[in-house]
A and B are shown apart, each in its own frame.
Chain A
Amino acid sequence: MTLTLIHLLYLFYGFLVLFGVLALAAIWHMVKFGTYGTRNYVALFLFLAGVSVVMWGTFTLLRDVDWSRPLLQGLTLRAPSRISL
Chain B
Amino acid sequence: MNISTLIHQKAYETRVLELRRHWLLLLKRVIVWAALAAIPFGLFVFLRVNVPAILAHPVAYPALVLGFGAFELSMWLVFFTMFIDYELDLWVITNDRLVSMEQHGLFARTVAELDLWRVQDVTTDVRGVFPTFFNYGNVHVQTAAATERFLLEDVPDPNAVRTFILEMADVDRRFHHSDAMPPPPVTTP
A40–B74 contact, CB under 8 A? no
Which of B82-90, B147-155, B160-168, B180-188 lies at the interface? B82-90
From the candidates A16, A47, A58, name the one contacting B80 in the complex (CB within 8 A): A47
B79–A9 contact, CB under 8 A? no
B58–A73 contact, CB under 8 A? yes
B27 at the interface (CB under 8 A from A): no
Chain B, residues 95-130, CB within 8 Å of chain A (1/0): the string is: 000000101001101000000000000000000000
A58–B79 contact, CB under 8 A? no
CA distance A30 to B85 in the complex (A): 10
User: Across the interface, which residues of B come within 8 angstroms of A29, CB to CB?
Assistant: 84, 88, 103, 106
Interface size on B, residues (CB 8 A): 32
CA distance A62 to B95 in the complex (A): 59
CA distance A46 to B70 in the complex (A): 18
A73–B87 contact, CB under 8 A? no
Give the interface SS of chain B, mostly helix, strand, loop or mixed.
Answer: helix
A19–B84 contact, CB under 8 A? no
Nearest-neighbour CB distance to chain B for A75, whole angstroms, equals 10
Given the known A-B contacts A34-B87, A73-B59, are A25 and B106 also in contact in the complex, defined by CB atoms under 8 Å? yes
B2 at the interface (CB under 8 A from A): yes
The listed residue with most B CB atoms (<10 A of its CB), out of A5, A19, A31, A33, is A33
User: Across the interface, which residues of B come within 8 angstroms of A16, CB to CB?
Assistant: 73
User: Across the interface, which residues of A come within 8 angstroms of B83, CB to CB?
Assistant: 43
A42-82 residues at the B interface, CB under 8 angstroms: 43, 46-47, 50-51, 54-55, 57-58, 61-62, 65-67, 69-71, 73-74
Given contacts A9-B62, A58-B69, 17 further A-B pairs with CB under 8 A are A5-B63, A8-B66, A19-B73, A19-B77, A23-B77, A25-B107, A30-B84, A34-B84, A35-B6, A43-B80, A46-B79, A54-B76, A62-B65, A69-B59, A71-B63, A73-B58, A74-B59
What would 27 A/B residue contacts be, using CB atoms closer than 8 Å? A5-B59, A11-B66, A16-B73, A19-B73, A26-B77, A26-B106, A29-B103, A30-B88, A32-B1, A33-B88, A33-B103, A34-B1, A34-B88, A35-B1, A35-B2, A35-B87, A36-B1, A36-B2, A40-B87, A46-B79, A54-B72, A54-B73, A61-B65, A62-B62, A65-B58, A73-B58, A74-B59
